[in-house]
Amino acid sequence: MAARTPFPRDSEAKLQHILHHAANVFAELGYERASIRDLSRVTGVSLSGLYYYFRSKQNLLYLIQLKAFTDILQSLQNRLLGVSDPQERFRIFIHNHLEYFLSHPAEMKVLSHEEDALEKPYRSEIAAIKRRYYNLAREIFDDLLGERSGAGVNPRIAVLSLYGMMNWIYKWHNPKVDPDARQLSENIAAIFLYGVLNSPKSTRHSRESDLTLERVAIGK
Protein backbone atom coordinates (compact mmCIF):
# COMPACT_ATOMS: atom_id res chain seq x y z
CA MET A 1 0.00 0.00 0.00
CA ALA A 2 1.54 3.26 -1.09
CA ALA A 3 2.00 6.70 0.12
CA ARG A 4 0.33 7.55 3.37
CA THR A 5 2.41 9.13 6.11
CA PRO A 6 2.34 6.82 9.12
CA PHE A 7 0.49 8.16 12.15
CA PRO A 8 -0.58 6.94 15.57
CA ARG A 9 -3.44 4.44 15.65
CA ASP A 10 -5.78 6.74 17.52
CA SER A 11 -5.74 9.07 14.54
CA GLU A 12 -7.61 6.48 12.50
CA ALA A 13 -11.02 7.93 13.37
CA LYS A 14 -9.87 11.39 12.38
CA LEU A 15 -8.56 10.10 9.06
CA GLN A 16 -11.95 8.48 8.38
CA HIS A 17 -13.63 11.77 9.23
CA ILE A 18 -11.36 13.61 6.80
CA LEU A 19 -11.84 11.08 4.01
CA HIS A 20 -15.59 11.24 4.37
CA HIS A 21 -15.65 15.04 4.16
CA ALA A 22 -13.16 15.03 1.31
CA ALA A 23 -15.48 12.71 -0.66
CA ASN A 24 -18.30 15.19 -0.10
CA VAL A 25 -16.17 18.12 -1.24
CA PHE A 26 -14.95 16.28 -4.35
CA ALA A 27 -18.49 15.12 -5.15
CA GLU A 28 -19.84 18.65 -4.78
CA LEU A 29 -17.15 20.66 -6.57
CA GLY A 30 -15.37 18.06 -8.67
CA TYR A 31 -11.80 16.99 -7.95
CA GLU A 32 -10.18 19.60 -10.15
CA ARG A 33 -12.02 22.54 -8.63
CA ALA A 34 -11.91 21.42 -5.01
CA SER A 35 -9.01 22.64 -2.92
CA ILE A 36 -7.43 21.45 0.31
CA ARG A 37 -8.47 24.85 1.63
CA ASP A 38 -12.12 23.89 1.01
CA LEU A 39 -11.54 20.68 2.93
CA SER A 40 -9.90 22.57 5.77
CA ARG A 41 -12.95 24.85 6.04
CA VAL A 42 -15.39 21.93 6.02
CA THR A 43 -13.53 19.75 8.53
CA GLY A 44 -12.26 22.52 10.78
CA VAL A 45 -8.76 21.02 10.55
CA SER A 46 -5.88 23.35 9.68
CA LEU A 47 -3.98 22.90 6.41
CA SER A 48 -0.88 21.62 8.17
CA GLY A 49 -3.12 19.38 10.28
CA LEU A 50 -4.59 17.90 7.08
CA TYR A 51 -1.19 17.25 5.55
CA TYR A 52 -0.43 15.02 8.50
CA TYR A 53 -3.00 12.58 7.07
CA PHE A 54 -2.20 12.72 3.37
CA ARG A 55 0.60 13.97 1.18
CA SER A 56 -1.25 15.68 -1.63
CA LYS A 57 -4.66 16.09 -3.24
CA GLN A 58 -3.78 13.08 -5.45
CA ASN A 59 -2.93 11.03 -2.39
CA LEU A 60 -6.25 12.06 -0.83
CA LEU A 61 -8.22 10.98 -3.90
CA TYR A 62 -6.35 7.69 -3.83
CA LEU A 63 -7.13 7.12 -0.13
CA ILE A 64 -10.85 7.74 -0.73
CA GLN A 65 -10.96 5.21 -3.56
CA LEU A 66 -8.78 2.70 -1.72
CA LYS A 67 -10.94 2.86 1.37
CA ALA A 68 -14.16 2.39 -0.59
CA PHE A 69 -12.98 -0.68 -2.47
CA THR A 70 -11.23 -2.15 0.58
CA ASP A 71 -14.37 -1.77 2.70
CA ILE A 72 -16.63 -3.27 0.04
CA LEU A 73 -14.34 -6.21 -0.65
CA GLN A 74 -13.76 -6.93 3.02
CA SER A 75 -17.43 -6.87 3.99
CA LEU A 76 -18.30 -8.99 0.96
CA GLN A 77 -15.69 -11.60 1.88
CA ASN A 78 -16.96 -11.68 5.47
CA ARG A 79 -20.55 -12.10 4.37
CA LEU A 80 -19.69 -14.88 1.93
CA LEU A 81 -17.91 -16.94 4.60
CA GLY A 82 -19.64 -20.29 5.02
CA VAL A 83 -22.25 -19.58 2.33
CA SER A 84 -22.07 -22.08 -0.51
CA ASP A 85 -25.38 -21.73 -2.35
CA PRO A 86 -24.58 -19.89 -5.63
CA GLN A 87 -27.83 -17.88 -5.71
CA GLU A 88 -27.42 -16.86 -2.11
CA ARG A 89 -23.81 -15.79 -2.76
CA PHE A 90 -24.99 -13.80 -5.74
CA ARG A 91 -27.65 -11.99 -3.70
CA ILE A 92 -25.13 -11.24 -0.97
CA PHE A 93 -22.86 -9.66 -3.59
CA ILE A 94 -25.62 -7.36 -4.89
CA HIS A 95 -26.88 -6.41 -1.46
CA ASN A 96 -23.39 -5.70 -0.16
CA HIS A 97 -22.63 -3.42 -3.12
CA LEU A 98 -25.90 -1.49 -2.93
CA GLU A 99 -25.82 -1.13 0.83
CA TYR A 100 -22.38 0.41 0.67
CA PHE A 101 -23.16 2.83 -2.11
CA LEU A 102 -26.59 3.92 -0.94
CA SER A 103 -25.01 4.86 2.36
CA HIS A 104 -21.99 6.50 0.64
CA PRO A 105 -23.43 8.53 -2.25
CA ALA A 106 -20.54 11.00 -2.30
CA GLU A 107 -17.98 8.19 -2.54
CA MET A 108 -20.05 6.62 -5.32
CA LYS A 109 -19.98 9.83 -7.35
CA VAL A 110 -16.25 10.31 -6.77
CA LEU A 111 -15.47 6.72 -7.78
CA SER A 112 -17.51 7.11 -10.92
CA HIS A 113 -16.46 10.61 -11.98
CA GLU A 114 -12.88 10.92 -10.82
CA GLU A 115 -11.52 7.63 -12.10
CA ASP A 116 -9.48 9.43 -14.73
CA ALA A 117 -8.28 12.12 -12.33
CA LEU A 118 -6.06 9.61 -10.56
CA GLU A 119 -2.47 9.56 -11.80
CA LYS A 120 0.48 7.19 -11.46
CA PRO A 121 1.28 5.32 -9.27
CA TYR A 122 -2.11 5.47 -7.59
CA ARG A 123 -4.03 4.71 -10.72
CA SER A 124 -2.64 1.23 -11.23
CA GLU A 125 -3.09 0.36 -7.54
CA ILE A 126 -6.77 1.25 -7.68
CA ALA A 127 -7.13 -0.58 -11.00
CA ALA A 128 -5.69 -3.68 -9.28
CA ILE A 129 -8.16 -3.66 -6.40
CA LYS A 130 -11.04 -3.03 -8.81
CA ARG A 131 -9.89 -6.02 -10.84
CA ARG A 132 -9.92 -8.15 -7.69
CA TYR A 133 -13.49 -7.03 -7.06
CA TYR A 134 -14.54 -7.70 -10.64
CA ASN A 135 -12.90 -11.14 -10.56
CA LEU A 136 -14.72 -12.08 -7.37
CA ALA A 137 -18.02 -10.97 -8.93
CA ARG A 138 -17.16 -12.97 -12.02
CA GLU A 139 -16.46 -16.11 -9.94
CA ILE A 140 -19.78 -15.70 -8.13
CA PHE A 141 -21.51 -15.29 -11.47
CA ASP A 142 -19.79 -18.29 -13.07
CA ASP A 143 -20.78 -20.49 -10.10
CA LEU A 144 -24.31 -19.26 -10.53
CA LEU A 145 -24.46 -20.28 -14.16
CA GLY A 146 -22.64 -23.53 -13.40
CA GLU A 147 -23.28 -26.05 -16.12
CA ARG A 148 -25.13 -23.48 -18.13
CA SER A 149 -21.91 -21.63 -18.79
CA GLY A 150 -22.01 -22.86 -22.36
CA ALA A 151 -25.40 -21.22 -22.83
CA GLY A 152 -26.22 -17.99 -24.52
CA VAL A 153 -25.01 -15.48 -21.95
CA ASN A 154 -21.80 -13.58 -22.60
CA PRO A 155 -20.45 -13.53 -19.02
CA ARG A 156 -18.38 -10.37 -19.44
CA ILE A 157 -21.36 -8.42 -20.76
CA ALA A 158 -23.64 -9.92 -18.11
CA VAL A 159 -21.40 -9.02 -15.17
CA LEU A 160 -20.63 -5.53 -16.50
CA SER A 161 -24.33 -4.95 -17.18
CA LEU A 162 -25.06 -5.93 -13.61
CA TYR A 163 -22.49 -3.41 -12.38
CA GLY A 164 -24.23 -0.89 -14.63
CA MET A 165 -27.61 -1.57 -13.03
CA MET A 166 -26.07 -1.13 -9.58
CA ASN A 167 -23.70 1.75 -10.24
CA TRP A 168 -26.17 3.94 -12.08
CA ILE A 169 -28.32 4.10 -8.96
CA TYR A 170 -26.60 7.22 -7.61
CA LYS A 171 -28.13 9.03 -10.60
CA TRP A 172 -31.73 8.31 -9.67
CA HIS A 173 -32.16 6.86 -6.20
CA ASN A 174 -34.41 9.05 -4.11
CA PRO A 175 -34.66 7.76 -0.53
CA LYS A 176 -38.09 9.38 -0.21
CA VAL A 177 -39.73 7.28 -2.91
CA ASP A 178 -37.36 4.45 -3.74
CA PRO A 179 -36.82 1.23 -1.78
CA ASP A 180 -33.86 0.65 0.53
CA ALA A 181 -30.79 -1.44 -0.27
CA ARG A 182 -32.42 -4.71 0.79
CA GLN A 183 -35.49 -4.38 -1.42
CA LEU A 184 -33.58 -2.77 -4.26
CA SER A 185 -31.08 -5.60 -4.34
CA GLU A 186 -33.92 -8.14 -4.41
CA ASN A 187 -35.50 -6.31 -7.34
CA ILE A 188 -32.25 -6.15 -9.26
CA ALA A 189 -31.38 -9.77 -8.49
CA ALA A 190 -34.83 -10.85 -9.70
CA ILE A 191 -34.57 -8.89 -12.97
CA PHE A 192 -31.07 -10.14 -13.60
CA LEU A 193 -31.76 -13.79 -12.76
CA TYR A 194 -35.20 -14.22 -14.26
CA GLY A 195 -35.81 -11.21 -16.49
CA VAL A 196 -38.89 -9.03 -16.54
CA LEU A 197 -40.95 -11.36 -18.75
CA ASN A 198 -40.46 -14.35 -16.51
CA SER A 199 -41.75 -12.70 -13.39
CA PRO A 200 -44.81 -14.51 -12.09
CA LYS A 201 -48.16 -13.12 -13.19
CA SER A 202 -50.25 -11.71 -10.43
CA THR A 203 -53.51 -9.80 -10.33
CA ARG A 204 -52.61 -8.28 -7.00
CA HIS A 205 -50.80 -4.98 -6.80
CA SER A 206 -48.47 -2.96 -4.61
CA ARG A 207 -47.56 -4.53 -1.27
CA GLU A 208 -48.65 -8.00 -2.22
CA SER A 209 -46.91 -7.88 -5.58
CA ASP A 210 -43.74 -6.81 -3.82
CA LEU A 211 -44.06 -9.97 -1.77
CA THR A 212 -44.37 -11.95 -4.98
CA LEU A 213 -41.16 -10.36 -6.19
CA GLU A 214 -39.48 -11.11 -2.92
CA ARG A 215 -40.38 -14.75 -3.29
CA VAL A 216 -38.86 -14.76 -6.77
CA ALA A 217 -35.84 -12.97 -5.45
CA ILE A 218 -35.17 -15.44 -2.68
CA GLY A 219 -35.79 -18.38 -4.95
CA LYS A 220 -39.02 -19.78 -3.50
Q: Is 35 in the site for a second copy (CB under 8 A)?
A: no
Q: Is 207 in the site for a second copy (CB under 8 A)?
A: no
C-beta closer to a second copy: residue 73 or 145? 145
**In Å, how far are 69, 160, 216, 220 from 87, measured between CA atoms?**
23, 18, 12, 12
| Residue span binding a second copy (CB under 8 A) among the ranges 10-18, 53-61, 121-129, 185-193 | 185-193
Q: Is 135 in the site for a second copy (CB under 8 A)?
A: no
Peptide linkage before 175 cis (omega within 30 of 0)? no
Candidate residues 168, 180, 182, 218; the one interacting with a second copy per rule CB under 8 A: 168
Ramachandran class of 35: left when φ > 0, alpha when ψ lies in -120 to 50, beta otherwise: beta
Angle (nearest 5°) at CA 121 between 124 and 136: 25
φ, ψ of residue 42 to 5 degrees: the values are -70, -40
Number of residues binding to a second copy, judged by CB under 8 A: 57
Rounded to the nearest whole angstrom, what is the least distance from the CB of residue 1 to a second copy in the complex? 25
Q: Is 136 in the site for a second copy (CB under 8 A)?
A: no
Distance CA 23, CA 21 (A): 5
Which residues contribute to the site for a second copy (CB under 8 A)?
30, 32-33, 112-113, 115, 141, 144-145, 147-148, 150-154, 156-158, 160-169, 171-172, 178-179, 184, 187-188, 190-205, 209-210, 212-213, 216
